[in-house]
Amino acid sequence: MGGWKDTCFNDGPGYRMFQALLFYTPRWLWKSWEGGKIHALMMDLDIGICSETEKKLKKRLMLDYLCENFQYHNWWAYKYIICEALALINVIGQMFLMNRFFDGAFLTFGIDVIQFLDSDQEDRVDPMIQIFPRMTKCTFYKYGVSGEIERHDAICILPLNVFNEKIYVFLWFWFIVLAFLTACTLIYRLIIILSPRMRMYWLRFRFRLIRKEDLDLIVKKGKMGDWFLFCMLGENIDSIIFRDVMHELATKLRVQLMEYTPGFRSGMQEP
């Protein structure tokens, strides 16, 4: 290895800090895109301890926002999914980047370690020592008794590599777990995007205090972005308050369907 590779692995904490920054990037991006929407809509309703007058006012403000912006949250939700996709790309990309640094040995590093532990002691070769040698030949130069520079060869112990090998074995398994869970999450998101019925079932399962007919109507007339917003709101505000808001929203939707009330966004489409 040479150049940047040597710099990265000689400065292990610095390289791991670089990895941490890459992992934090999708979260930072989402915080920037989200713009504090959920916090603004919560209005301290996650506590649920406030006067009835204040509670009614805050519920009315939340309901007005949901009515005025119904069916207009798709791009906001897709930004979240983009961040999840970036998280998966980051994990896989870091595995291939580290594989390049390890001269092609990192992608199978964890598997090689497992095979090493299961193999016979006489035949096995430790893959951790191959990547992180614990001893190496060192050359020292010093002035001899004659005043000339003398060269001395010796065996040097590298105790830090005993620590490094454990870190990168853990990182290999951690990356595999993260990649698997993130991929499963993206598959779940795809199912949610394509199946309004799954959105309906999920809301029924997650928010059992809300009447099924209210949830069914909201999902039927809303879009995926609305479903995503309702899920996040329901997880962050008082369950009773959320139930009341969803019931009032469903009531407004029924009025819209029956009377085409002006002021509420018309032309609602099937998802």
What are the beta bridge partners of residue 154?
A: 138
Handedness of CA 172, 174, 178, 180 (dihedral sign): positive
Which residues have a Cβ under 8 Å from the Cβ of 12 and sit 6 or more positions away?
A: 160, 164, 167
- Greatest mean pLDDT among 40-54, 164-178, 186-200: 186-200
> CA 91, CA 22: separation in Å to the nearest integer?
9
In order of 7, 125, 134, 154, the CA distances from 157 in angstroms are 20, 19, 6, 10
Specify whether the CB–CB gap between 129 and 70 falls below 8 A. no
pLDDT of residue 87: 95
Question: What digits encode the pLDDT tens for the residues 78-89?
Answer: 999 999 999 999
**Predicted confidence band at 12 (pLDDT cuts at 50, 70, 90)?**
low
- Burial string for 34-70 (b: 16+ CB within 10 Å, else e) reads eeebeeebbbebeeeebeeeebeebbeebbeebbeeb
Looking at residue 146, its pLDDT comes to 72
Looking at per-residue pLDDT, the higher value among 5 and 170 belongs to 170
Residue 203, pLDDT score: 92
On the question of pLDDT at 8 being above 80, the answer is no
Mean pLDDT, residues 88-93 taken together: 95
What confidence category does residue 106 fall into, taking pLDDT thresholds of 50, 70 and 90?
confident
Q: Note the pTM of the prediction, 2 decimals.
A: 0.79
Residue 271, pLDDT score: 43
Which tokens is 261 given?
Answer: 């009330």
Own/partner contacts of 145-154, CB < 8 Å, gap of 24 or more, are none
Mean pLDDT across the chain: 84
> Torsions phi, psi of 132, nearest 5?
-120, 80
pLDDT recorded at residue 215: 92
Please list, in sequence order, all residues whose beta carbon lies within 8 angstroms of the beta carbon of residue 42, skipping any fewer than 6 positions away: 233, 236, 237
pLDDT range class, residue 128, cuts 50, 70, 90: confident
* Rounded Cα–Cα distance for residues 22 and 16 (Å): 10
